[in-house]
């Protein structure tokens, strides 16, 4: 890593300030706005150490990272997206893949190296799927055979790092073969994971060639920004919107606020909230927004359940506990009462309040065994009041059942009715 001089540090600080000017200004008018910012910031938590340790980024160049990030995450033109994808893949090839291949083949202290030009030519031929000097299968076989021969030669020489006996022509061919082999599957990856329109592969190659021969610290930071920007644009933002709004594709989180929060979290500068506050906002507001959306869709279940519970409470023999659980003793057992954590054996059947059956151990012909603390809250409460041998009908309010969770037949906010027969207990 190059030493950063005082003048360089000033330049870097100026660059970061300049890049920050391009970061969208967050606007907080709704809960979605603040949630979007908080989610962006939360998603950048731990990014700086990751960039340094895993992507070989000199984090004194975070201004360049931000520039690359903003450039990619806001890209809309297919040519531009393909070009930037080429630049970031090129940087990975030049700074990681080629040095890694050199180290694997020739050893860390060897004077020989693969031919970077031929590696790039092979990689481009494989990416464009053009007719090259060899087919992908030939390239794979040639590379495997040659590398295997080299390893055997090293072992036979009984030396730590012997110089492999390859001619220049063999090294050129091996380099081309390695490049071609390493490009296999790239086109599909670009289309499915980086949202690249593969009709613009020539633009991809143009960007690739610009950085494949190697990039300095500033360029590496820029490329890393583009890579992370692509991941945010193509994966993280769509997933965040889906997490908040479910399958409603008409609604999305606030992209500008997400970006602003992400940059603040990545750089540690200019944040409108701390990382802890961002985590808290994400948790609380996400839950509130999701529940609001669920109420709009499944609120009738909640109202119907409350009405059913109110009516059921008036029936003879129905007891309502302080938690809201209702039970009616069909037959009273004389055995031991389970405690929290005890293993129990039960037979049961469960229905919705409209009579729809969703589960029955009776119909399966097999009782169920589990710990009393491994089931929904309504069951936990009932089981720790029932003597063995009892048969109860219990009515479980939605907040003591599955609440906002969608369990297939059991939709969010569903009140549930169970017939429970306690067959036995094993004390913990």
Q: 211: pLDDT confidence band, cut at 50, 70 and 90?
A: confident
CA distances 366 to 111, 202, 346, 360, 423, Å, are 71, 63, 9, 9, 12
Lowest mean pLDDT among 164-168, 227-231, 287-291, 369-373: 164-168
Tens of pLDDT, residue by residue over 38-95, are: 999 999 999 999 999 988 889 999 999 999 999 889 888 999 999 988 988 998 898 8
Per-residue pLDDT at 1 exceeds 50: no
- Read off φ and ψ for residue 417, nearest 5 degrees: -120, 130
pLDDT at 220: 86
Say whether 420 sits in a helix, a strand or coil. Answer: strand
Report the share of the chain in percent with pLDDT over 70.
Answer: 92
pLDDT(154) > 80: no
Q: How far is the C-alpha of 189 from the C-alpha of 198, rounded, in Å?
A: 10
Q: How confident is the model at residue 21 (pLDDT cuts 50, 70, 90)?
A: low
Looking at 152-156, 216-220, 257-261, which range is the least confident one?
152-156
Please tell me the number of Cα atoms within 13 Å of 331 on its side-chain side: 12
Place of tokens 């219990």: 394
Q: How confident is the model at residue 10 (pLDDT cuts 50, 70, 90)?
A: very low
pLDDT digits (tens, 9 = 90+) for 128-150: 998 889 999 999 999 999 888 87
Report the SS3 class of residue 410: strand
* Stretch (H or E) spanning 347: strand 343-352
**Which helix or strand (DSSP H or E) is residue 417 part of?**
strand 416-426
Q: Measured between alpha carbons, how far is 224 from 211 in angstroms, rounded to an integer?
A: 12
Residue 242 sits at φ, ψ, to 5 deg, of -65, -35
pLDDT tens-digit readout, 316-364: 999 999 999 999 999 999 999 999 999 999 999 999 999 999 999 999 9
pLDDT for the residue numbered 9: 40
- Quickly count: other Cβ atoms within 10 Å of residue 249's Cβ: 10
206 is written with which tokens? 């143009």
Q: Token digits for 254? A: 């606030």
**Residues linked to residue 420 through DSSP beta bridges, in sequence order:** 348, 392
Tell me the two tokens of residue 370.
């589990």
Q: Which residues, at least 6 apart from 281, have a Cβ–Cβ distance to it below 8 Å?
A: 34, 35, 38, 273
Q: What is the pLDDT of residue 342?
A: 95
| DSSP assigned state of 52 | H
CA–CA distance, 385 with 338 (Å, rounded to integer):
7
User: Quick one: tokens of 100?
Assistant: 């890694």
* pLDDT range class, residue 23, cuts 50, 70, 90: confident
Residue 347 CB neighbours (<10 A): 18
Concatenating the DSSP letter of every residue in 359-376 gives: EEHHHHT--EEEEGGGS-
What is the β-pairing status of strands 343-352 and 416-426?
Answer: antiparallel
Structural domains in the chain, sorted by start: 6-273 (no CATH), 309-426 (3.10.50.40)
User: Around 57, how many Cα atoms within 13 Å sit in the side-chain half-sphere?
Assistant: 31
pLDDT for the residue 20: 54
Query: For 355-380, how does the pLDDT look when each residue is reduced to its tens digit (9 = 90+)?
Result: 999 999 999 999 999 999 999 999 99
């Amino acid at each position: 890593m190059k030493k950063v001089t005082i003048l360089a540090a000033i330049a870097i600080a100026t660059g970061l300030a300049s890049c920050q000017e391009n970061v969208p200004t967050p606007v907080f008018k709704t809960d979605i706005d603040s949630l979007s910012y908080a989610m962006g910031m939360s998603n950048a938590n731990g990014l700086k150490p990751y960039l340094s340790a895993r992507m070989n980024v000199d984090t004194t160049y975070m201004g360049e990272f931000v520039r690359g990030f903003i450039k990619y995450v806001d890209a809309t033109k297919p040519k531009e997206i393909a070009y930037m994808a080429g630049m970031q893949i090129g940087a990975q090839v030049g700074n990681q893949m080629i040095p890694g291949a050199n180290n694997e083949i020739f050893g860390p202290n060897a004077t020989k190296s693969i031919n970077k030009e031929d590696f790039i030519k092979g990689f481009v031929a494989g990416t464009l799927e053009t007719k090259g000097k060899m087919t992908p299968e030939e390239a794979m076989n040639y590379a495997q055979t040659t590398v295997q021969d080299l390893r055997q030669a090293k072992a036979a020489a009984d030396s730590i790092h012997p110089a492999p006996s390859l001619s220049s022509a063999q090294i050129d061919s091996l380099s081309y073969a390695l490049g071609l082999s390493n490009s296999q599957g790239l086109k599909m990856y670009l289309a499915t994971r980086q949202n690249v329109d593969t009709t613009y592969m020539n633009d991809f190659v143009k960007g690739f060639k610009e950085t494949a021969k190697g990039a300095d610290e500033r360029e590496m930071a820029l490329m890393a920004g583009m890579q992370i920007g692509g991941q945010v644009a193509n994966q993280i933002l769509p997933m965040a919107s889906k997490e908040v709004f479910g399958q409603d594709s008409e609604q999305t989180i606030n992209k500008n606020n997400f970006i602003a929060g992400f940059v603040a979290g990545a750089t540690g500068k200019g944040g409108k909230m701390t990382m802890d506050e961002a985590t808290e906002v994400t948790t609380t507001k996400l839950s509130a927004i999701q529940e609001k959306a669920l109420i709009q869709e499944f609120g009738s279940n909640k109202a119907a359940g409350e009405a059913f519970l109110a009516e059921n409470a008036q029936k003879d023999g129905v007891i309502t506990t302080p938690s809201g659980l209702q039970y009616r003793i069909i037959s009273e057992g004389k055995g031991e009462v389970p405690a929290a954590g005890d293993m129990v054996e039960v037979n049961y059947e469960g229905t919705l309040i409209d009579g729809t059956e969703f589960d029955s151990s009776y119909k399966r012909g097999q009782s169920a065994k589990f710990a009393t603390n491994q089931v929904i809250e309504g069951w936990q409460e009932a089981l720790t009041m029932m003597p063995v041998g009892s048969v109860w009908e219990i009515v479980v309010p939605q907040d003591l059942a599955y609440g906002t969770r969608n369990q297939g037949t059991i939709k969010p906010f569903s009140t549930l009715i169970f017939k429970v027969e306690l067959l036995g207990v094993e004390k913990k």
